[in-house]
Amino acid sequence: MIHLFHESNGTMGGKMMHQALINMGHVYSITTIWKYRKEMQMKSCIRGKKATYIKGKIHHLFPNIIQQQFEVKEANKIWCIQFYLYKIEYRKEQL
């Protein structure tokens, strides 16, 4: 285990080490490998992944083509509610 750990420059984790030992013909459970790694203080050093998020452009404001009133002159005068009704059947099944 120590040879495998140092051969991988300290990047081999518990699951990868378990698979490598199986490939070499040594069968140990993953919990046994984790226990031995903890006793020998072998902690893998793995880099974090690079962020895949790319910052996009600012949202485009579209023109008010249909001349809707978005500004209210007095409070609580215009309300707009959009809702959908879905019929959901509920039945209790007994096993």
Query: For the segment 62-88, what is each residue's pLDDT rounded down to a tens digit?
Result: 777 777 766 777 877 766 666 666 666
pLDDT at residue 49 is higher than 60: yes
Are 20 and 4 in contact by the 8 Å Cβ rule? The answer is yes
Where do the structural domains in the chain lie, given as residue ranges? Answer: 2-39
Can you read off the two tokens belonging to residue 10? 């300290």
pTM for this entry: 0.43
Q: What is the pLDDT of residues 14-46, one digit of tens each?
A: 888 888 889 999 888 888 888 888 888 888 877
Going by the DSSP 8-state scheme, the letter that residue 10 receives in this structure is T
Going by the DSSP 8-state scheme, the letter that residue 68 receives in this structure is -
- Torsion angle (degrees, nearest 10) of CA 83, 85, 86, 92: 110
H-run or E-run covering 89: none
